[in-house]
Amino acid sequence: MENSIQDLKISAEKTPSLGGRGASISVFAPATVANVVCGFDVLGFAVNEPGDEVVMRITNKPGITISKITGDNGRLPLDPAKNTVSVSVQHYLQSVGRTDIGLDIELHKKMPIGSGLGSSSASTVAGLFAIKTLLGDDADPARLLPFAMKGEEMACGHGHADNVAPALLGGFVLIRSYDPLDVVRLPHPAGLYCAIVFPDVDVPTREARQIIRNKILMKDAVTQWGNIAGLVSGLFMQDIDLIGRSMKDILVEPVRSMLIPDFYQMREIAMNLGAVSFGISGSGPSVFAFTRDEETAKLITKKLQQHLTGIQIGSNTYVSTINDKGPRVL
Ligand code: HSE
């Protein structure tokens, strides 16, 4: 991690600031599905929608302000010392020696908070990509990861990277190691669709992490790492059947599924409709299914939404392919 920050510093110093005063940029960063069922804290992928937008403007006065947040129902702090976007951007500015800059940030939440879709990650990554672009820093976006992880730590008490890494890099990502940070981009079969349903119940990641067991049995570990290796092999081999049969989680899902209304009923519906796999997205309550085509993904979201309506729970649905691009300037 030390090396990453050092390299970033050199790169930013080499490239002159594009940002005259008043320069501004608008960036979108995508939602992500972390864990991918069996890979707790080590696997994640980005989707095309939903996602968040950050508008960043260079100002005259050194320091960061947040002038506006929309779409959060007043839940997120405007105080730059408490907001994950400004805090991670501040860490970045410190590392590149540019705390002389003044910045104003607008955050437009286009996705639900506490959904298990990497909401805080999408905001943080949009902010970091915006400042990197404003400064003309052409370093590999992966260099921004340590700063994005600081944002995660602030949002939920733990700096996991399985949302921020795919949001930043796009595609399917493996966190091979946290110390030292080692992130691997994985291939994936073309034409894999993701059906996402967000049941309108609140599951804060901080709390969903606290209920997980800290110790596991060796026989369970064997099952789990067999499945993770099977999933990664399936991605490389473009073997969708292998991907499907590997996406099983005996460690986390049995506990977290209790926080999700009718989780097992929803799984049965999705699998009966032809899903390749079904599970919790990140820490929930969103659930997702992989499918081989868009029609099946749409049908699954429709039927799951109908099921949730039947038990008086509202929901949002999304159908997407895997997003290989990550953040983009709007
Ligand atoms: N790996 C994290 C968790 C992702 O499951 O807690 C949170 O979205």
Domain at 70, CATH number: 3.30.230.10
Residues 216 and 278 in one domain: yes
CA of 237 to the centre of ligand 1 (A): 26
Q: Are 273 and 292 in contact (CB under 8 A)?
A: no
Tell me whether residue 205 is one of the annotated catalytic residues: yes
> Bridge-partner residues for 63, per DSSP?
102
In terms of Cβ atoms closer than 10 Å to its own Cβ (0-12, 13-18, 19+), residue 146 is: buried
- Residues of the chain with pLDDT below 50 are 1-18
The DSSP bridge partners found for residue 103 are: 58, 64
Ligand 1 atom closest to residue 41's alpha carbon, by position in its atom list: 1
Residue 330 lies in a domain: no
Q: Is 53 contained in some domain? A: yes
Give the ligand 1 atom nearest the CA of 40: 1
* Structural domains in the chain (count): 2
> Quick one: which atom of ligand 1 is closest to the CA of 118?
8
Q: Is 7 within a domain?
A: no
Domain with 70 in it: 12-186
Model pLDDT, residue 99: 92
pLDDT computed for residue 205 by the predictor:
84
Query: What single string gives the DSSP state of each residue in 134-178?
Result: HTT--S-GGGGHHHHHHHHHHHHS----TTHHHHHH-SEEEEEEE
Atom 3, ligand 1: residue with shortest CA distance: 283
Catalytic residue among 32, 84, 205, 296: 205
Q: Is 253 a catalytic residue?
A: no
| 212 secondary structure, DSSP code | S
- Return phi, psi of residue 110, to 5°: -115, 15
Whether omega for the bond prior to residue 146 falls within 30 degrees of 0, making it cis, is no
Residue tagged active-site, from 152, 253, 291, 301: 152
Domain with residue 217: its CATH number is 3.30.70.890
| Distance (Å) from CA 94 to ligand 1 centroid | 28
pLDDT, averaged across the chain: 92
| 309 lies in some domain | yes
Q: Are 281 and 33 in contact (CB under 8 A)?
A: yes
236: in domain: yes
**Using CA atoms, how far apart are residues 148 and 168, in angstroms rounded to an integer?**
9
Asked whether 246 and 38 are in contact (CB, 8 A), the reply is yes
- Cα distances (angstroms) measured from residue 99 to each of 64, 84, 96, 139, 313: 9, 17, 8, 19, 46
Residue 2, pLDDT score: 36
**Distance between CA atoms of residues 308 and 298, nearest Å:** 15
Cα distance between residue 257 and residue 269, in whole Å = 16
Compute, in angstroms, the gap from residue 280 CA to the centroid of ligand 1.
10
pLDDT for 16: 35
Give the model's pLDDT for residue 158.
86
Distance from the CA of 281 to the center of ligand 1, in angstroms?
8
pLDDT in tens, 252-281: 999 999 999 999 999 999 999 999 999 999
Residue type, 211: I
Ligand 1: lining residues by beta carbon, under 6 Å: 34-35, 40-41, 116, 118, 160, 162-163, 205, 208-209, 282-283
Instruction: Give the pLDDT of residue 10.
Output: 31
Q: Are residues 115 and 48 in the same domain?
A: yes
